[in-house]
Chain A
Amino acid sequence: MPLTPAVTDLQQLKTHPAIAKLLAWNSAAVEGAKFDRDETTIYIERSWLREACVLLRDDPGCPFNFLSDVTCVDWFPSEPRFEVVYQLLSIPKKERVRLKVRLEGTAPAIDTVTSVWPAANYFEREVFDLFGIRFTGHPYLRRLLMPEDWEGYPLRKDYPVEGYR
């Protein structure tokens, strides 16, 4: 399938059901949207994340009841540095959507979504372990893959590939 250019204009995309639902609820929560390579991405403002997730999970028209993945991308040195990415899937409607939240580089913190989808438990622990992003309200925020006494956050761009040891 040859590539078509990405659509980033929120006005053009507001007919997409998930985007329309979010805009109807609270247009301040949606910072932007993108439709590229047959995938929809919605940029959510940080303080509205948990409620936006509850809205998308409980939407009767297209319930996004399955959290596929929580991960993070480090855009060092540009600010906002971190982008936390949530991949959602609606099992009844077989639709996917991606939510992104931008965080600043110093003391990045965001609400946990484990109360919305318990699946986020290990995913958020991994993001904390490898990027250093705190998830406020997480039941057990400890390092998952690295040893408990490890210092530093390995997947950040200023951490060398060979490591320090």
Chain B
Amino acid sequence: MILNMGPQHPSTHGVLRVILEIDGENVVRIMPDIGYLHTGIEKTCEAKFYQQVVPLTDRIDYLCPLTNNLCYVLAVEKLLGLEIPPKAQWMRVLLNELTRINSHLVWLGTHAMDIGALTVFLYCFREREDILRLFEAVSGQRMMTSYFRIGGLALEPPLGFFEQTRKFADRFPGKVDEYENLLTGNPIWMMRTKGVAKITAEDAIALGASGPTLRGSGVDFDLRRDIPYSGYENFKFKVPVSREGDVFARYMCRVQELRESIAIVQQALDGMPEGPIKADAPKIVLPDREKMKTQMEALIYHFKIITEGFAVPEGEVYQAVESPRGEMGYYVVSDGTPKPYRVHMRAACLANMQTLPKMCEGRLLADVIAAIGSIDIVLGEIDR
């Protein structure tokens, strides 16, 4: 029997359509059908200036918007050859890790809710409220922040931001203990997730899986530690790896990552350097608002950057960062004009989703839900 797990379904985490060929309760074949959220962002980027692409990047993987910003901004800064001041780099790491916690909280809440543990959802969203309030303090927006700009940050962090973040960082590890209390030793959770949707390390690498989907199968690879960017080499953190490759292994990886991320946030708060938040490049970075109102050169630079953009030297760059889902990459091609010639986003979930047939074929229908949740898909990233 062919069953359609249609684009409108509470457990597909977005508009994913999965065509299942089932025999009783067993899945014989599984085929994902995507494209319901395709908005042509890559085509739109070719019609905008480099700085105008930054708000578009927020909306690609809408659960970790700052990570998308970071990846695009790092790619363009590599094309330009800009030096970013240390305070901007540390703020980027701090906010990137808060975004990782944010995204993992949504994953944990929705994944647990699919399997039946409804309480965890509200607990996770309670912490998510605190983080969204921090984002609103620093950039004015809860989700689509566009806070990282080409050359540094958009604005200085407000007074009181670091104290608020420190209070959050102090109470968060206790909350992770709460979630683990509810799930990790729970017999129902273990029966639903242990041994379910296994994938071996060779299959995961061959199918292009990355992030916790790869680390859950025993491959010790994390872009933050192995090919560091934006100052990550200054931070000490462990990379959690599990051996079994099933849903429980990926769950443990992500829960440990919650703990490691909050430790990185603490390190960033302790060692935050002083200094400017934007690079020293007047033709590329917008000048300080007060200077723009009083000095003629700053006004001219501001006008030219907004209306004409800045020309980026010819070339191409592939920059990858470790998003909560895996390797997110931006391939930016420049032809010397102020508009990018081609921007391509390598979505982590598009490759991770290719592991679904290997994980689900031959298993029960209920395991498909657990598998989709454990890969942590976001359709905005897959479809663009």
Chain A residues close to B by CB (< 8 Å): 1-3, 6, 36-37, 39, 41, 65-69, 71, 73-74, 85, 87, 89, 91, 94, 96, 98, 117-123, 126, 130, 143-147, 154-155, 159, 161, 163
Task: Name the A residues within 8 Å of B315 (CB-CB).
Answer: 6, 36-37
B281-332: which have CB < 8 Å to A?
313, 315-318, 320, 327, 329, 331
CB distance from B71 to the nearest CB of A (A): 13
For residue B35, CB closer than 8 A to chain A, the reply is: yes
A122 contacts B351, C-beta separation under 8 Å = yes
Show 20 A/B contacts (Cβ-Cβ < 8 Å), sorted by A.
A1-B81, A39-B316, A39-B318, A65-B205, A66-B208, A67-B208, A68-B318, A68-B346, A69-B331, A89-B327, A91-B205, A91-B221, A117-B208, A118-B206, A120-B208, A126-B350, A144-B34, A146-B35, A155-B42, A161-B43
Asked if B226 is at the interface (CB within 8 A of a chain A CB), the reply is yes
B44 at interface by CB-CB < 8 Å: yes
B342: Cβ under 8 A from any A Cβ: yes
Contact for A145 among B44, B47, B331, B383, CB less than 8 A: B383
For A1, list chain B residues within 8 Å (CB).
Answer: 81, 83
Asked if B38 is an interface residue, CB under 8 A from chain A, the answer is yes
Give B contacts to A, CB under 8 Å: 34-35, 38, 40, 42-44, 46-47, 78-81, 83, 205-208, 210, 219, 221, 226-227, 313, 315-318, 320, 327, 329, 331, 333, 341-342, 344, 346, 350-351, 353-354, 383-384
Q: Which of B47, B207, B318 contacts A161 (CB 8 A)?
A: B47
Chain B at the A interface: mostly helix, strand, loop or mixed?
mixed
* 7 cross-chain pairs, A with B, having the tightest CB-CB distances, nearest first: A119-B208, A3-B81, A145-B35, A69-B346, A145-B38, A71-B344, A94-B226
B79 touches A37 (CB 8 A): yes
Known contacts A1-B83, A69-B346, A117-B208, then 19 further A-B pairs from the complex at CB < 8 Å, ordered by chain A residue: A1-B81, A6-B315, A36-B316, A39-B316, A39-B318, A67-B208, A68-B208, A71-B346, A73-B333, A73-B342, A74-B342, A96-B227, A96-B318, A118-B207, A122-B351, A144-B34, A146-B35, A161-B43, A161-B47
Bound-complex Cα distance A96 to B320 (A): 11
Q: Which residue of A lies closest to B313 (CB)?
A: A3
Residues of B within 8 A of A145 (CB): 34-35, 38, 383-384
Least distance between B29 CB and chain A CB atoms (Å): 12
With CB as the reference atom, state the residue of chain A lying closest to B35: A145
| Residue ID in chain B nearest A96 by CB atoms | B318
Contact residue among B46, B317, B346 (Cβ-Cβ distance under 8 Å from A37)? B317
Give Cα A119 to B157, complex, Å: 41
- Assess the B329–A69 pair: CB atoms within 8 A: yes
Nearest residue (CB) in B for A3 is B81
Verify A68–B354 contact, CB threshold 8 A. no
Report whether A71 and B331 are in contact in the complex, using a CB–CB cutoff of 8 Å.
yes
B35 contacts across to A, CB distance below 8 A? 143-147
A99 smallest CB distance to B (angstroms)? 12
Q: Quick one: given A69-B331, A146-B35, are A119 and B354 in contact (CB under 8 Å)?
A: yes
Q: Are B81 and A161 in contact (CB under 8 A)?
A: no
Contact of B329 among A73, A87, A117, A155 (CB under 8 A): A87
Contact B354 A121, beta carbon cutoff 8 Å: yes
Nearest residue, chain A, Cβ from B225:
A94
Contact, CB under 8 Å: B206 / A119: yes
Are B341 and A73 within 8 A (Cβ)?
Answer: yes
In chain A, what residue has the closest Cβ to B350?
Answer: A122
Interchain CB contact under 8 A, B205 and A66: yes
Residues of A within 8 A of B354 (CB): 118-119, 121-122
Of the candidates A2, A68, A146, the one having the most CB atoms from chain B within 10 angstroms of its own CB is A68
